[in-house]
């Protein structure tokens, strides 16, 4: 093999991990979009499976790539792709009642990815993912209180407490999925963080 062939092979090998990362980021963004379609209508915020995908994206992709997957998801919706609950799209969704929750997704994935890499017991995975849910519900409830209910108590009741049972189920499912799958694959392709 000549030098140009060796150089081409090295460039291809170097691109493969980057391409794998991009594909996994896109896959989790698409998964979050699909999970938004599995919805139970409720006012002011519907029940969906989105937070399940947010937690899994952080756990499997790591802090940076998990965050990027959720940024890609939110950006796609803002740019007009019908990826939000009910097939909604556009910047108006971020200004609506669900906006705080959606804007919290990248931060939650970042936190879960950071915390999950530290410990690998089922309990620590669940605690890491619970911390991610706290981020989503804190930012979501604050947004709801400031822009819609104008009362924190009402926002907590309508935007957090009503979902507690639903999100405990998703937390349990995400923790088990990651823990059991993580026995074989700790993380999907990612760069060191």
Would you say residue 62 has pLDDT above 80? yes
Q: How far apart are CA 35 and CA 173, in angstroms?
A: 14
- Comparing 62 with 166, which gets the higher pLDDT? 62
Span 68-88, pLDDT tens digits: 999 999 999 999 999 999 899
Residue with tokens 């957090």: 160
Question: Helix 50-78 vs helix 99-116: angle between axes, to the nearest 10 degrees?
Answer: 120
Span 83-121, pLDDT tens digits: 999 899 999 999 988 899 999 999 999 999 999 987 778
Cα distances (Å, whole numbers) of residue 21 to 75, 79, 175: 18, 22, 22
C-alpha radius of gyration, the chain, whole number? 18
Residue 192 pLDDT: 43
Contact (Cβ atoms closer than 8 angstroms) between residue 59 and residue 129: yes
Domain coordinates of the chain in residue numbers?
3-182
Residue 186 pLDDT: 55
Specify the CATH architecture of the domain 3-182: Orthogonal Bundle (1.10)
Contact (Cβ atoms closer than 8 angstroms) between residue 54 and residue 105: yes
């Amino acid at each position: 093999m000549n030098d140009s062939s060796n150089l081409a092979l090295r460039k291809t090998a170097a691109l493969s991990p980057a391409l794998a990362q991009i594909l996994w980021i896109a896959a989790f963004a698409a998964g979050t979009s699909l999970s938004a379609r599995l919805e139970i209508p409720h006012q002011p915020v519907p029940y969906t499976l989105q937070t399940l995908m947010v937690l899994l994206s952080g756990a499997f992709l790591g802090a940076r790539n998990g965050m990027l997957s959720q940024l890609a998801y939110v950006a796609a919706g803002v740019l007009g792709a019908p990826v939000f609950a009910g097939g909604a799209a556009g910047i108006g969704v971020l200004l609506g009642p669900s906006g705080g929750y959606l804007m919290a997704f990248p931060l939650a994935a970042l936190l879960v990815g950071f915390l999950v890499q530290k410990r690998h017991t089922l309990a620590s995975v669940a605690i890491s993912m619970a911390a991610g849910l706290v981020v989503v519900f804190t930012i979501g409830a604050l947004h709801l209180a400031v822009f819609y209910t104008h009362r924190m108590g009402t926002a907590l009741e309508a935007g957090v407490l009503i979902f507690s049972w639903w999100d405990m189920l998703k937390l349990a499912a995400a923790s088990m999925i990651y823990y059991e799958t993580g026995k074989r694959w700790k993380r999907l392709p990612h760069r060191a963080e």
